Amino acid sequence: MIKQNTLFYTYLDECKKNFFTTEFERKDSKHEAYNFYSLSSVSFESDYYLQQFEDKWAVFKKEFNIPDKTCLHFAEYKKLLSSDHVKNIKIAIRQKEAIFSSESSINFSEFENVINSSDGFEEKEKEKLLKKLESFKNPEDLSSCYVEVKATFRKYSKKILSVDEKDIEGYRLFLNSDGTFDIVNVHNFFSTLKELLKTSQFHILNTDYINLKKAYLPLRKASEREKLTNPNILPAKNLAKAEARVVMKKHLDILIEFLISNNFNGSTYLDENLPDMLYTKLRFDADGKEFEAKSDLKMAFHECLTTGTERFEQKTAVKLLDEIRFIRKEEVGSGNIPPHCGSELVDFLCSLVCSETRVSYLTKIGVISQEDFPKGKYSTLIFEEEELEDISFEDIIEDKLFLKTMIDYSEI
């Protein structure tokens, strides 16, 4: 029974490319023309969220010795399932320690050896990088030089080893007391997470958007000749609404449906009393000013408050959608007030959920086959070690997914 003035917290995240889209494009070169954008959200009743879920999440993080101020980066943790990736992280750490033996010294010859022995650079790139290193020697300002050389190493590490600082931080969370990495620790982490989610009370919504990258005729002067652009994810970008704006407005439409749905005699119905009894605060997982979709998402939110959604009146939206805030990673963590653990949860679930909804839809319309893209594959963490069971989150997604919808412009 919904109580008067029930508050929900709704945490949202976006997903563009992920493991599924990588395999989808690899399967057929024609698939490279497809563009995907998805929004997923998790909604909690505030009393449960504040009084129970936050505590459960904090206990979970403490069990795995995750610092209070640390925001979980699940993408980096999932990559640890690859032994090749773990090997590259170890290489990056060894190289970094050899080049930067202290906070003020740089072993240039070691860095040069690393670059020269790398097969990932073309000769011109290698020469350019070595020349850049040479320019850093004998600097007037040692501290600024140190910062720049470190930045150069990070670029090298990302390009050649596909390893960045987040990967290294994630790797170090799962070390044994003797400093060795143990994949069993990663398995225990995700197994415990699954049990936590099974017993938690929240609802998932998902909205997918698909279109084809197309060329278009851009703005030009009257004297200029017509010339097509390269295929673009947003044809006629000076005229069209950005995908984030379109998807957010659709997602708010199904969020309203979720909020005003009531179970009656074993079935779910829209309840006209509910807009006067509850509302939600939206929190979007974002990276501050650098988050490119922020303006479009805010615009979609305010459009709903001004004109309503696709199906629901403006007055309904105003009653139910209280506010939207964009949460930066540094605001997230058990030691923060509030900890915004919902942001960490949706960060984990978003890619898994939209992978499954994308596969389901594309299979349904005949773009892919179930044999090539089996149901449940992309919501399962697959471990290379035979003694470790794979961990599937498919059952949790099916249990918690309240609504999903698709915006398909791929046939236009």
- Compute how many other C-beta atoms are within 10 angstroms of the C-beta atom of residue 183: 17
Per-residue confidence band for 127, with pLDDT thresholds at 50, 70 and 90? confident
| 108-121 mean pLDDT | 86
Q: Which residues contact 392 (CB under 8 A, 6 or more apart)?
A: 376, 379, 380, 381
> Does the pLDDT value for residue 289 go beyond 60?
no
Q: pLDDT tens digits, residue range 194-249? A: 999 999 999 999 999 999 999 999 999 999 999 999 998 888 888 999 999 999 99
pLDDT at 346: 96
pLDDT at 234: 85
Per-residue confidence band for 140, with pLDDT thresholds at 50, 70 and 90? low
> Does the pLDDT value for residue 3 go beyond 70?
no
- Residue written as tokens 């998932």? 204
Q: What is the mean pLDDT of the chain?
A: 92
Q: pLDDT tens digits, residue range 162-179? A: 999 999 999 999 999 999
Q: pLDDT tens digits, residue range 310-346? A: 999 999 999 999 999 999 888 998 788 889 999 999 9
pLDDT at 43: 98
Domains of the chain by residue range: 7-71+189-217+233-409, 83-178
In this prediction the pTM is 0.92
pLDDT at 175: 95
Q: pLDDT tens digits, residue range 65-84? A: 898 888 898 999 999 999 99
| 26-55 mean pLDDT | 96
> Does the pLDDT value for residue 144 go beyond 90?
no
Contacts by 194-201, CB closer than 8 A, 24 or more apart: 194/391, 194/393, 194/396, 196/56, 196/57, 196/60, 197/345, 197/393, 197/396, 197/400, 198/396, 200/53, 200/56, 201/44, 201/45, 201/48, 201/53
- Compute how many other C-beta atoms are within 10 angstroms of the C-beta atom of residue 333: 21
pLDDT at 67: 87
Per-residue confidence band for 126, with pLDDT thresholds at 50, 70 and 90? confident
pLDDT at 210: 97
Q: How far is CA 259 from CA 42, 300, 312, in A?
A: 12, 18, 12
pLDDT at 135: 83
Per-residue confidence band for 1, with pLDDT thresholds at 50, 70 and 90? low
CA distance 403 to 207: 9
Q: What is the DSSP letter of 53?
A: I
